[in-house]
Structure 1
């Protein structure tokens, strides 16, 4: 399946961490919802690169994580 590339401007995005991260979490990811995309970045490197997902892909990932799909046994 081919992946479409599209420009996403994250310069003015409002980034947030999970409410479960706590205020002093230095080893977290931050997420920003922008029109037509979801950005994800390392909280330790806020000026570094961000991953960009289509909203459906991001929501599927979060749902899978909540259901334990990525837990090692």
Structure 2
């Protein structure tokens, strides 16, 4: 387990065999997600060897709901 800046603990997930899903209809998209051991991992598909963000199910739900509500709309 590792501790993030907020003090929460995260498991050290083995993402080597994760099944990554692309955000763009089958092509290699910029954002990819994988469901691993009850968590959601998100990475940059153009840099698959780079770091991945790890979300708990509650954090992922908050992120998705915020995106649907336009919380991250920069226009």
Same fold (TM > 0.5): yes
Q: What is residue 39 of structure 1 aligned with on the other side?
A: 41
Moved over 3 A (4+): 22-26
> How far apart, CA to CA, are the structure 2 residues paired with 1:59 and 1:23?
23
When normalised by structure 2's length, the TM-score is 0.77
Q: What is residue 13 of structure 1 aligned with on the other side?
A: 18
When normalised by structure 1's length, the TM-score is 0.79
> How far apart, CA to CA, are the structure 1 residues paired with 2:48 and 2:68?
25
> How far apart, CA to CA, are the structure 2 residues paired with 1:3 and 1:22?
34
Higher strand share: 2
> How far apart, CA to CA, are the structure 2 residues paired with 1:24 and 1:5?
30
Contact 2:28 2:46 in 1 (8 A): no
What are structure 1's unaligned runs of at least 5 residues? Answer: none
Deviations 1:2-56 (Å, cap 9, x if unpaired)?
21132111111100012xx234455x11000011211111011111211111111
